[in-house]
Amino acid sequence: MFATVGHRSRSGGSDTSDIAFSVLYARDRVAEAGSLPESWIVSNPRLNYTPGDFFKPDLVHLALRGFRAAWGGTLRGTLYFRRNDIEQFNVNVPPPSTDAFIDNKSAGGTAEWTRPVLVGSLPTALTLGAEYARQNVRFRLTNTGAGAPDSVATLAVVHEDDAAAYAQAVVAITPKLSATAALREDYVRIPFRDEIDPANNGTNTYDRLSPFVGLTLEVSDHLRGFVAYKSAFRAPAPLELACASPDAPCSLPSALGADPALAPVTTHDYEAGFDLDLPNRTSLDVDGFWTDVVNDIVFASPNLTQVYFVNIPHSRRAGVEITAQTALPAGMRLFGSYSYVASTFQSTIQISTADTNPVPARPGDQIPSSPRHRGRVGAGITRAMGPLAVDAQLDVRAYSGQYLRGDEANRRTPVPGYAIAGLHLRAQYARYQIQLEVDNLFNRQYDTFGIIAENSLGAPPGSPSPNESGDEGELANFFTPGLPRRIVLSIGATF
């Protein structure tokens, strides 16, 4: 359920202030089969390797936002409170299974002030802002099953503080050329408290100043180009920090303990591109990027039921993104997009894997689970028939193959690429609307993820002979089948 109420003030044809309060409540229960050995998928992709898994989040989100004229500029602010209670049950092979309960309460806010000023004789848009968030997380993990009484494996509490301040100036050097410069300071404090074994207690603190500079040139009324450099920062999450030891991997969904501290992730991004606007609502956007990542955090899986997180000293994301669209007669339109992303290791590193003959990843090897090519093409039509407005759209999304997790050296056959179609229909009459979305329109079978793991259960149920479909305990390629056809019908009204 979602609702928003608010009030807006206008003067001289423009908004002078606005305030709104939003409430969101969501409750879900997801029971998903997950990954299957290749032999099981051939037999029946609807099989479940570990029946009984489920993920059940319960979310309440309250938010207050607004803006008003102040001190010669505009003051904007937000306040929020979020409660997210999660239960995640994992049937593990081999046992024991685990039942995790995560109680996450967070609150915070942002404040930002923008006003036009003069730097010498140059018009400048100045922005100053700050933000703060407090997260109180309680994590309880219980081992269950395997003929033994239930036991609490983890009982931990984290009270995390996140604060930031930033400033940005956009300077109009000439009517056609503008420059942007910004700085952001982040501070993160993560105290970990183990209520079973206080010897595991510890506190990690991170802070960093991140810059941004860019130039934008309006070559003409239809063509705009830009270049930019920016740096970004991400502190490790509490779960990553508490599950970072290859000598003591965590049980899924993750048992926390005293592990070595992970370094924060930092990026250095170089970007350039242009936007071209032509008649008949035709546009072309091209964006090239090169991002060097220091201390990226990745997921290591020594087996199906245990994981840990590890820093990669150097990795890279480089590529290009292209989007285009055009309007046709009779309310029709065409659109498309393409992206090429080379996600590669730039350090030699051995990441733990179930492979009995592991090979280290070397500079230039593709990072698993990252397709190099992604594309989308589609057509749509919008028609008005009196008070009734109708919109229809058909699109096709395609992804190239990706390497399996555990195959960081790119020696195995990748997960095959795939393409799926989607249909979107929407009709609006006065204040009422109805919408139909169909994903995977032709109900294609495809895989979205792959991992190397030991097949502890052997052949799929109903196989005439285990030897025909893989022996128990053999190393196998596990794949996650994509969702079948999905139909969503929505009805809405505006008051």
Which of residues 288, 318, 348 is at a domain's end?
318
Does residue 36 lie within any of the structural domains? no
Tally of structural domains, the chain: 2
- Is the pLDDT reported for residue 94 higher than 80? no
* Of 473 and 172, more confident: 172
Residues 277 and 364 in one domain: no
* Residue 340, domain extent: 328-495
Does residue 15 lie within any of the structural domains? no
Does residue 21 lie within any of the structural domains? no
Residues 366 and 305 in one domain: no
Does residue 7 lie within any of the structural domains? no
CA–CA distance, 113 with 127 (Å, rounded to integer): 6
Kindly report the CATH number assigned to the domain that includes residue 147: 2.40.170.20
Residues 117 and 238 in one domain: yes
pLDDT in the model for residue 255: 45
Closest by alpha carbon to 108, among 139, 77, 84?
Answer: 77
Tokens of 67: 């803006």
Closest by alpha carbon to 154, among 218, 243, 229?
Answer: 243
462: left (phi over 0), alpha (psi -120 to 50) or beta: left
Residues 369 and 257 in one domain: no
How buried is residue 471: exposed, middle or buried, by Cβ count under 10 Å (0-12/13-18/19+)?
Answer: exposed
CA–CA distance, 194 with 192 (Å, rounded to integer): 7
- Residue 174 per-residue DSSP state: S
Residue 450 contacts residue 417 (beta carbons within 8 Å): no
| Cross-strand partners of 483 | none
Would you say how long the chain is, in residues?
495
Q: What is the mean pLDDT of the chain?
A: 90
Per-residue confidence band for 304, with pLDDT thresholds at 50, 70 and 90: low
* Of 489 and 262, more confident: 489
Tokens of 275: 């936007």
- Record the pTM: 0.84
Residues 140 and 217 in one domain: yes
| Cross-strand partners of 111 | 77, 130
Does residue 32 lie within any of the structural domains? no
CA–CA distance, 338 with 13 (Å, rounded to integer): 40
pLDDT in the model for residue 14: 76
Closest by alpha carbon to 273, among 289, 257, 255?
Answer: 289
pLDDT in the model for residue 122: 95
Residues 300 and 404 in one domain: no
Residues 255 and 389 in one domain: no
Mean pLDDT (whole number) for 461-488: 76
Closest by alpha carbon to 103, among 149, 72, 132, 135?
Answer: 135
Per-residue confidence band for 106, with pLDDT thresholds at 50, 70 and 90: very high
Which stretches of 145-176 are assigned E, i.e. beta strand? 151-172
- Is the pLDDT reported for residue 229 higher than 60? yes
**pLDDT single digits (tens) 49-74:** 888 899 999 999 999 999 999 999 99
Range of weakest confidence among 175-189, 247-261, 284-298: 247-261
Per-residue confidence band for 153, with pLDDT thresholds at 50, 70 and 90: confident
pLDDT in the model for residue 76: 97
Residues 246 and 388 in one domain: no
* Of 270 and 301, more confident: 270
Per-residue confidence band for 308, with pLDDT thresholds at 50, 70 and 90: confident
Residue 157 contacts residue 190 (beta carbons within 8 Å): no
Rg (CA), the chain: 26
Residues 352 and 273 in one domain: no
pLDDT in the model for residue 303: 63
Does residue 48 lie within any of the structural domains? no
Q: Please provide the DSSP assignment of 220-287 as one string.
A: SSSEEEEEEEEEEEEPPPHHHHTS--TTSPEETT------PPPPPEEEEEEEEEEEEEETTTEEEEEE
**pLDDT single digits (tens) 392-448:** 999 999 999 999 998 999 999 999 999 999 999 999 998 899 999 999 999 999 999
Number of H helices, E strands in the chain: 3, 23
CA–CA distance, 84 with 58 (Å, rounded to integer): 6
Does residue 13 lie within any of the structural domains? no
Per-residue confidence band for 468, with pLDDT thresholds at 50, 70 and 90: very low
Tokens of 294: 């220091």
Residues 292 and 381 in one domain: no
**pLDDT single digits (tens) 312-329:** 999 999 999 999 999 999
Does residue 27 lie within any of the structural domains? no
Which of residues 299, 318, 337 is at a domain's end?
318
Residues 99 and 156 in one domain: yes
Which of residues 287, 318, 349 is at a domain's end?
318
CA–CA distance, 363 with 365 (Å, rounded to integer): 6
Residues 275 and 343 in one domain: no
